[in-house]
Amino acid sequence: MSSLYRIPGAVIYLLFCCLRSTAGEEVVKLQELEGNTVIIHTGLTAVQSDAQILWFYGPEKADMKIVDSQVFRGETVIDYNTERFRDRLQLNRNSGSLTIRNISREDSGLYKLQIITGRISDWSFRVNVYAPVLKPVIRNGTENCSVSLRDWCSPLCTVENENDVNLSWFKDNERISNINSTVSSDRLSLPLNITIPNCSVYTCVAANPVSNQTTQLRFTQLCYNKAAERSATERHVIIPLAVLICLGVIVVGSLILFKLCCKERPKQQEVAENGETDYSEVKITSPNSKEAPEGKVSRETKNQDQSETVVYSHIKF
């Protein structure tokens, strides 16, 4: 007789499936900031007072029970039987919502709510927790920076790579390029393809689903200052070099003039030494003197030597 009242296991399983609610078919996705207090809302306004409320968690599959709330003889008992969350969980018995304090990236995963009354109702939530994105850094992407139109420095925006980080360049308020962290790396980098400075405002924005940071490009700090420093260095080298060149030109010119002067002086001396000099005799006779006869030459000549004066004039040819 007892076998007639035995219910097959397959029938019990079918009855169990019929009693389950279809509420758990949809997974609600939540994106939260690390360190915040997060409330996973169920959307319920009132849960039956004698219902059993269970919460499960797992990184990929919700198979670890973290909350068990039951009513025994009119008294509600809540068991937070998990070391992972310790004292960070709090259950709302009226709505079934779960509060997680100081949530971390390690708390990301699948959360599942079960409410058991005359039937079993499920809700599933996918929670992704992100750290605040870091502020992007803009540096010069080329080794040589110049202010010339043909050799303009290339700005490169970089940020520490995390999950779902997006890096973008904006010209004024328009996005002109972007890159996602699809490849695992320590840093995410995005160059800005411009050739000349202009009046537009360029900003680099790093963002993840819960936060963003912006850095504005400053042309003068990135390129002109480096070019000015290099120009100053060049001036420190060029000016002394120019002075040395001028001094060298002056010294060489002085030596050339000195040699030319030394060559002209020997020629003048040679002309003075080789030139012919003739002397013209000018005989001045005293008015009182008379021409003596030939026989008295010797005597008169002696007197003549005493009365006559001879002057020699130098004639240079």
> For the segment 127-166, what is each residue's pLDDT rounded down to a tens digit?
999 999 999 999 887 654 444 444 456 789 999 888 889 9
Q: Which residues contact 68 (CB under 8 A, 6 or more apart)?
A: 52, 53, 54, 78, 79, 81
pLDDT in tens, 16-49: 344 344 444 579 999 999 999 999 999 998 899 8
- Between 253 and 3, name the one with better pLDDT: 253
Q: Is the pLDDT of residue 52 over 90?
A: yes
Angle 24-26-31 from CA coordinates, rounded to 5°: 115
Q: What does pTM read for this prediction?
A: 0.60
Q: Is the pLDDT of residue 289 over 80?
A: no
pLDDT band at 221 (very low <50, low <70, confident <90, very high): low
pLDDT band at 83 (very low <50, low <70, confident <90, very high): confident
| pLDDT at site 249 | 78
- Between 287 and 254, name the one with better pLDDT: 254
Mean local confidence (pLDDT), 223-250: 60
Q: Is the pLDDT of residue 102 over 90?
A: yes
Encoded tokens for 8:
């097959």
Mean local confidence (pLDDT), 200-225: 85
- Between 50 and 198, name the one with better pLDDT: 50
Q: Is the pLDDT of residue 11 over 50?
A: no
- Between 17 and 180, name the one with better pLDDT: 180
The DSSP code sequence of the chain is -GGGGPPPHHHHHHHHHHHS-GGGGSEEEEEEETTS-EEE----S---TT-EEEEEEESSS--EEEEEEEEETTEEEEE---TTTTT-EEE-TTT--EEESS--GGG-EEEEEEEESSSEEEEEEEEEEEPPPPPPEEEE-SSS-B-STTSB--EEEEEE--TT-EEEEEETTEEEEEEE--S--SEEEEE---SS--S--EEEEEEETTEEEEEE--HIIIIIHHHHHHHHHHHHHHHHHHHHHHHHHHHHHHHHHHHHHHHHHHHHHHHHHH--EEEEEEEE--TT--PPPGGGHHHHHHHHHHH-EEEEEEEE-
What phi and psi values does residue 119 have, to the nearest 5 degrees?
Answer: -140, 175
Work out the burial of residue 128: count CB atoms within 10 Å of its CB; fewer than 13 is exposed, 13-18 middle, 19 or more buried. middle
